[in-house]
Chain A
Amino acid sequence: MKLILKNGIVYDPANGINGEKMDICIKDGKIVEKVRFAKVIDVSNKLVMPAGFDIHSHIAGGKVNVGRLLRPEDSLRRAVARRNGLRSGSGYSVPSVHIIGYDYARLGYTTVITPAMPPLLSRHTHHELNEIPMIDKAAFPLYDGNWFVMKYISEEKYEELKAYVAWLLWATKGYSVKITNPGGTEAWGWRKNVHDLDEEVPYFGVTPKEIITSLVDVCNDLNLPHSVHLHCNCLGEPGNYEITIKTLQLVRHKDFDGRQSLHVTHLQFHSYGGDSWKTFESKADEVAKEVNKNDNVMIDTGNVIFGDTTTMTADAPMEYDLYLLTGLKWVNKDVELETAPGVTPYIYSPKVLVNAIQWAVGLELALLIKPEKVILTTDSPNGGIFTNYPKVIAWLMSKKAREDMLAKVHRSTEHRTVLPSIDKEYDFYEIAMITRTNPAKSAGMPNKGHLGVGADADIAVYDINPLEFDPKDYDKLEKALSNAYLTIKGGEIIVKKGEIVKVTHGRTFWVDAMGKVDRSLIEKDLDYYFKRYYSVSLSNYVIGENELRRSERICVN
Chain B
Amino acid sequence: MRELILKLKEKPDICLEVEGILPNVIAEKSLEEIENLPIQYGNRRVKLSEFFDAYVEKSETPRIIFDGDMSRVKRIGWKLDGGEIVVRGNAGMYLGAFMRDGKIVVEGDVGHFSALNMSGGTIVINGNAGNYLCASYRGEWRGMSGGIVMVKGNVGKELGSYMRGGKIIVEGTADDFAGVCMRGGIVVINRAEERLGAGMIGGAIVVNEVEELLPGFFEEGEEENPEIEGEKFEGRFKVFSGDHAERKAKGRIYVRL
- Residues of A that sit less than 8 Å from B by CB: 70-74, 76, 327-329
Contacts and interface: CB of A to CB of B under 8 A. Distances in A.
B44 interface: no
Interface stretch (B81-89, B125-133, B138-146, B150-158): B138-146
Contacts of A329: 139, 141
Interface string B186-203: 000000000000000000
B106 to A, nearest CB: 24
A72 B137 contact: yes
A73 B247 contact: no
Given A72-B137, A327-B247, A329-B139, 8 more contacts: A72-B140, A73-B136, A73-B139, A73-B140, A74-B139, A76-B137, A76-B140, A329-B141
Nearest to B201: A327
A329 B136 CA distance: 14
8 contacts: A70-B139, A71-B139, A72-B137, A72-B140, A73-B136, A73-B138, A76-B140, A327-B247
A328 B141 contact: yes
A329 B140 CA distance: 10
B79 to A, nearest CB: 12
Contacts of B139: 70-74, 329
Nearest to B138: A72
Nearest to B246: A327
B40 to A, nearest CB: 11
A328 B137 CA distance: 15
Contacts of A76: 137, 140
B19 to A, nearest CB: 12
A218 B127 CA distance: 72
A328 B247 CA distance: 13
Interface string B65-97: 000000000000000000000000000000000
A73 B143 CA distance: 11
A310 to B, nearest CB: 11
Contacts of B141: 328-329
A342 B139 CA distance: 17
B149 to A, nearest CB: 21
A96 to B, nearest CB: 15
Nearest to B248: A327
B150 to A, nearest CB: 26
A73 B116 CA distance: 12
A73 B137 CA distance: 6
Contacts of A327: 247
Describe A's contact surface by its main secondary structure.
Answer: helix
Interface in B212-254: 247
Contacts of A71: 139
A409 B57 CA distance: 50
Interface in B132-185: 136-141
B98 to A, nearest CB: 9
Contacts of A328: 141
A72 B137 CA distance: 8
Contacts of B140: 72-73, 76
B154 to A, nearest CB: 27
A256 to B, nearest CB: 47
Nearest to B141: A328
Contacts of A73: 136-140
Nearest to A70: B139
A73 B139 CA distance: 6
Nearest to A308: B142
Nearest to B137: A73
Contacts of B138: 72-73
A72 B140 CA distance: 8
Contacts of A74: 139
A220 to B, nearest CB: 45
A65 to B, nearest CB: 15
Q: Which one of B138, B139, B141, B247 has the greatest number of beta carbons of chain A within 10 Å?
A: B139
Contacts of B137: 72-73, 76
Nearest to A71: B139
A92 to B, nearest CB: 13
A70 B139 CA distance: 7
Contacts of B247: 327
Instruction: Pick from A73, A74, A328 the residue with the most CB of B within 10 Å.
Output: A73
B101 to A, nearest CB: 20
A256 B1 CA distance: 78
A432 B75 CA distance: 47
A76 B142 CA distance: 13
Contacts of B136: 73
A71 B136 CA distance: 13
A466 to B, nearest CB: 41
A327 B247 CA distance: 9
Q: Top 8 A-B pairs ranked by shortest CB distance?
A: A73-B140, A72-B139, A72-B138, A73-B139, A73-B137, A71-B139, A76-B137, A328-B141
A115 to B, nearest CB: 26
B216 to A, nearest CB: 17
B46 to A, nearest CB: 16
Contacts of A70: 139
A356 B39 CA distance: 43
B100 to A, nearest CB: 16
B203 to A, nearest CB: 16
A74 B139 CA distance: 9
Interface in B12-38: none
A251 to B, nearest CB: 42
A73 B138 CA distance: 6
B162 to A, nearest CB: 11
A327 B142 CA distance: 13
Nearest to A329: B141
B245 to A, nearest CB: 14
B136 to A, nearest CB: 8
A207 B102 CA distance: 63
B175 to A, nearest CB: 23
Nearest to A327: B247
A372 B136 CA distance: 48
A70 B141 CA distance: 12
A61 to B, nearest CB: 21
B181 to A, nearest CB: 11
A327 B139 CA distance: 14
A76 B140 CA distance: 10
A425 to B, nearest CB: 38
B93 to A, nearest CB: 15
A537 to B, nearest CB: 36
Nearest to A76: B137
B161 to A, nearest CB: 13
A40 to B, nearest CB: 41
A264 B139 CA distance: 34
A121 to B, nearest CB: 23
A327 to B, nearest CB: 7
B116 to A, nearest CB: 10
